[in-house]
Each structure stands twice: as C-alpha cells, then as structure tokens.
Amino acid sequence: MAIFTGAGVAIATPFDENYNIDYDSFGKLIDFQIENKTDAIIVCGTTGEASTLNHEEHIAAIRYCVNRTNKRVPVIAGTGSNDSRTASWLTHQAELAGADAALVVTPYYNKATQNGLIDHYSYVARHTNLPLILYNVPSRTGCKINADTMAYLVKNVDNIVGIKDAVGDVSYTAQLMYETQGDIDVYSGNDDMIVPMMSLGAKGVISVLSNVAPEDTHNICAEYMAGNVEKSRELQIKYLELIHALFCEVNPIPVKKALELMGICGPHLRRPLTEMEDANTERLRKAMIEVGIL
C-alpha cells in the first residue's frame, strides 16, 4: 500500500525575524494544509530549507510536525544527507519522532556512482524500519538515480518503496515504470507535470504549489484518479502560470513570499537565500490573483 496517494505538500518552514523556527506560524500552516485536503505533509525537504537547519532544529521540526498533525495525514520526514551515516542517523531520529516515512535525497556535492547510490540507500534502509521514498533531483544535487538502479533497489531492499521524481523528463518516468514493472510508488516532483506523470502511473505529487493551493492540488490528483481526466487537465493548466511564478526564483523564495501575501507566515529566509525581487513579487501576486488565492 502506498504511503499516500494524491498531493503531499513539501511544506515550508516559517522563520521569525531572528531566523528561528516560527512554530506558531508553522502550526497555522500545517492546520491550513490539513483543513484544505492535503494528503500528506513532507517536512524538512528542500522547500523546508532543511539544508540550513542544524540537527537539533531538524529533529525538532519533524517532531513538532508529527505532533501537530496528530495522525490526521501521513508525515514524511526529509532525512537526506551527502554523508551516509548522517542520513542514517537523521532517518532513525525521524522514526523515533513518529514520522510515517522518510524522504531521502541523493548525496549532493560529493555525488556517487550508481553502485555508490545502491550502497548508500541500502545502508540507510538497514538502519530503520521506516519506508523510504528516494528523492531524485539532479538539477540540485548533480546526482541522478538511473532507472535500472531504482529497479534494483526496489527489488532488493524491502523498505525502499517509492521515488520523488524531479528529473523533469517524462521519458525517464516511463523508463522507471518499465524497469520496475510498475512495482514502485512514483510521485511527481514537478508541479507542472502532475497529469503527465499520473498518466504513466504516478501516485500523485510532492508539491510546492500545495503550500498556497492545497485543495486544488489535491483535486488535480483526485480528479485524475476518479477518471475525470479532463477536469484534472483543466486544473493543471489553470495553475501553470502560478507554478512558473513559484519557480521564477530559486525555491522556496517565491513560496515564502506567497505565504506572506496570504498572511500565513513571514517571508524570512535563511542565508544564502534572499528576499524576492520586486518584479518577480509582482508577477507572483498577479498569478495568485488570477487563480483566486488573493
């Protein structure tokens, strides 16, 4: 059984003016998501600025999210690292905190061969009972999980069950399904490719868009799964300009600004991320108005 189907939000981590985690706003954002049909919460991922959190903050954010969610939806904890021991330790801590699964990004900067990826993920999986979703985002990490490598891991490691596919190439997704014979839970890592990837068998999306439009992102998936492909397609296209605006600067700069415009949290980002440029803020505002968020 899939950890979740539909739209899981890659949730932002609100910070206060002193750049500490703003738990009041974080709780408000978590509740907003669940009240508006988000199917799962993915905490401490890229959108959650996990790379700027120290280990204590990282585990505290996971624990808070688990407790605030209180079993209403699954919580998937981002626990990846470019160091296998650190990734294993973070995953174990997420398990202790009560997460339902872990999202483990490919090693970045030092990267790895395909054999290295097999060893890395097998090592992490051996030290946890959590189901693992691997996160394939070569544009950020410089490291890609080949489809045959993923097929090997799914076949040989029991608790590797899924992949967040942010390669941005439906040919890769098709090859992934071919190599694994469909025996894998695939989630789109790109909000503009939800419908195309679901047409190849994806279970849904791990979404930035869901931060600001949780119900309709859920509906893109739900309508597709209900057989209402035309309605799903219409929603996908409706949000295309907003999706592009949410990525006109590096994620999560735009989505933090969008959440500020909605009054959910402040725009504060940890360095080296910086405040959104005025022209891009205006583009984002117009896109949000166009779909009725503002």
Q: Provide the residue ranges of all domains of the chain, joining segments of one domain with +.
A: 6-231
Q: Over the stretch 143-161, which tens digit does the pLDDT of each residue have? A: 999 999 999 999 999 999 9
Annotated binding residues, as ranges?
47, 206
Q: Which contacts of 194-199 are long-range, i.e. CB under 8 A and separated by 24 or more positions? A: 194/7, 194/220, 194/221, 194/224, 194/236, 195/220, 195/224, 195/229, 195/232, 195/233, 195/236, 196/170, 197/165, 197/170, 197/173, 198/224, 198/225, 198/232
What is the reported pLDDT for 209? 98
Based on the residue annotation, tell me whether 135 is a catalytic residue of this protein: yes
Instruction: Say which range, 9-13, 33-37, 179-183, 197-201, has the weakest mean pLDDT.
Output: 179-183
Query: What confidence category does residue 274 fall into, taking pLDDT thresholds of 50, 70 and 90?
Result: very high
Across the chain, what does the average pLDDT equal? Answer: 97
Catalytic pick among 135, 152, 187, 239: 135
Cis peptide before 267 (omega within 30 of 0): no
**In the predicted structure, residue 1 carries a pLDDT above the cut 90:** no
Residue numbering of the annotated binding site for pyruvate: 47, 206
Does 178 score more than 90 pLDDT?
yes
CATH class for the region spanning 6-231 = alpha beta
Q: What is the pLDDT of residues 20-78, one digit of tens each?
A: 999 999 999 999 999 999 999 999 999 999 999 999 999 999 999 999 999 999 999 99
- Three-class DSSP category at 10: strand
Point out the catalytic residue in the list 37, 164, 203, 256: 164
Taking the complete model, does pTM exceed 0.85, yes or no? yes
Mean pLDDT over 209-213 rounds to 98
pLDDT tens digits, 70-84: 999 999 999 999 999
162 within 8 A of 134, measured Cβ to Cβ:
yes
- DSSP state string for 58-116: HHHHHHHHHHHHTTSS-EEEE---SSHHHHHHHHHHHHHHT-SEEEEEPP-SS---HHH
| pLDDT for the residue 168 | 96
CA distance 160 to 124: 10
pLDDT at 228 over 90: yes
pLDDT class for 292, splitting at 50, 70, 90? very high
What is the C-alpha to C-alpha distance for residues 22 and 256, in angstroms, rounded to an integer? 13
The reply to whether 164 belongs to the active site is: yes
Whose CA is closest to 112, among 136, 89, 91? 136
